[in-house]
Amino acid sequence: MKKIVVLTGAGISAESGIKTFRDSDGLWENYRVEDVATPEAWENNYELVLNFYNERLQQLDKAFPNDGHNYLTKLESHYEVQIITQNVDDLHEKAGSSNVLHLHGELRKKRSQVNPDYILEIDKTENQIKKGDLCPWGQQMRPHIVWFGEAVPLIEEAAKLVEQADIFIIIGTSMAVYPAAGLIYYVKPGIPIYYIDPKANETPNVSKNTIRIAEKASIGVAQLVNELLEKAKNAN
């Protein structure tokens, strides 16, 4: 089976009602990113940060995968599919994708501030990280999110996966945030790269031979998946 590696960003979840980061007026869900998504924000006002991510978590319960997520799962009948997502939502999993790597963390998890390997699922009934929820080392548990200015621990693993791709697909990301955007440089020469995003023709940070599909995820992913499934069936 050929291996497809898919890099997704906020745009794939836009039609599920989750706002992207850079499409609006610089505010994200009415917050300034610096006030809620940086280590400094946590230092200055961890309660605000907790509230913000608890709100996002509750929003997630009302969000459902759209055709973008759903069509990707269909590829698994004829390809080995690895998704690398920059999104912290769980919509790829909800859709039924088998292999999802979350580069920027996961809303449904919390972790210790002092031991980054101490990571827990957030209790489903509580559905929040509470003030006073302490790790075994006596510190407040924090969201399992990679904030601005923090290292991306899974980037090397992601780069290795991209190197193995026979086909690389990028969906709904502005390709503005590194190191995630740099993953495209790990694609082996000659491997087809597709880029599905309404602004696909405006983004400079993709290689010259990238096939650009300037559509919303629900339309563009459905089209490309059908095309790739046809190819796989004809090859058999």
Q: How far apart are the first and last CA of the chain?
A: 11
Residue placing its CB nearer to ligand OAD in the complex, 90 or 197: 197
Residue placing its CB nearer to ligand OAD in the complex, 39 or 198: 198
- Asked if 110 and 142 count as a contact pair (C-beta separation under 8 A), the reply is yes
CB of 5 to ligand OAD, least distance (A): 16
CB of 69 to ligand OAD, least distance (A): 11
CB of 102 to ligand OAD, least distance (A): 10
Residue 171's Cα: distance from chain center in Å? Answer: 10
Residue 131's Cα: distance from chain center in Å? Answer: 27
Residue placing its CB nearer to ligand OAD in the complex, 5 or 78: 5
Cα distance between residue 127 and residue 114, in whole Å:
22
Binding footprint of ligand OAD on the chain (CB under 6 A) = 9-12, 14-15, 20-23, 37, 86, 104, 146, 172-174, 176-177, 197-199, 216-217
Active-site pick, 92, 102, 104, 144: 104
Residue 70 identity (one-letter amino acid): N
Nearest to 228 by CA among 72, 96, 82: 72
Tell me if residue 78 is catalytic.
no
- The residues that are catalytic are 104
